[in-house]
Amino acid sequence: MGVQFYERRMVMSNDKDKARVMTLVTYIYKKIIEGTANASDFADYLQDYLGRAKPRYTEKGGIIRFDLPPAPGWSGPEWEKFYDENGYRLSDSARKFLSSPDFKPTPKGTIVHVAVLKGGVV
């Protein structure tokens, strides 16, 4: 079960831990978009950030795979509040999207499986 089991059992024990995991997910997403880190960096960061056992990931054929924590099922305004309260700056277009009828939250508890291709930025 890899990271999914680890997070449900070890990290998701209280609201503070849930907030830490969501902050981590946001950080990872930001780094993926920026193209400034790779999956190995994320595994090391997860270990340091959570202060617990090293999360599992697999690497095969130049593809690194890992799972993100279960989605909280938040609405756009809930995400906006989370980002604001945790010191993240959202662009006007991001705020507009989060408050638009086009925003559809990922159902609560959904596990996102991530695959990162090794290589440079194109």
| Domain that includes residue 45, residue range | 3-71+106-117
Q: Considering the domain boundaries, does residue 14 fall inside one?
A: yes
Q: Is residue 92 situated within a structural domain?
A: no
Average pLDDT for residues 5-19, to the nearest whole number? 51
The domain total for the chain is 1
Residue 29 lies in a domain: yes
Residue 96 lies in a domain: no
Rounded Cα–Cα distance for residues 24 and 57 (Å): 16
Confirm whether 39 is domain-assigned. Answer: yes
% of the chain surpassing 90 pLDDT: 21
Tell me the C-alpha distance between 95 and 35, whole Å. 22
Among the listed residues 4, 14, 26, 40, the one whose alpha carbon sits nearest the alpha carbon of residue 85: 26
Q: In angstroms, rounded to a whole number, what is the distance separating the alpha carbons of residues 70 and 18?
A: 10
Tell me what pLDDT residue 93 has.
Answer: 93
Instruction: Between 72 and 36, name the one with better pLDDT.
Output: 72
Supply the pLDDT for residue 14.
62
Within-domain flag for 78:
no
98 inside domain: no
**Across 47-66, average pLDDT:** 73
Percent of the chain whose predicted confidence (pLDDT) is above 70: 67
User: Could you tell me if residue 50 is inside a domain?
Assistant: yes
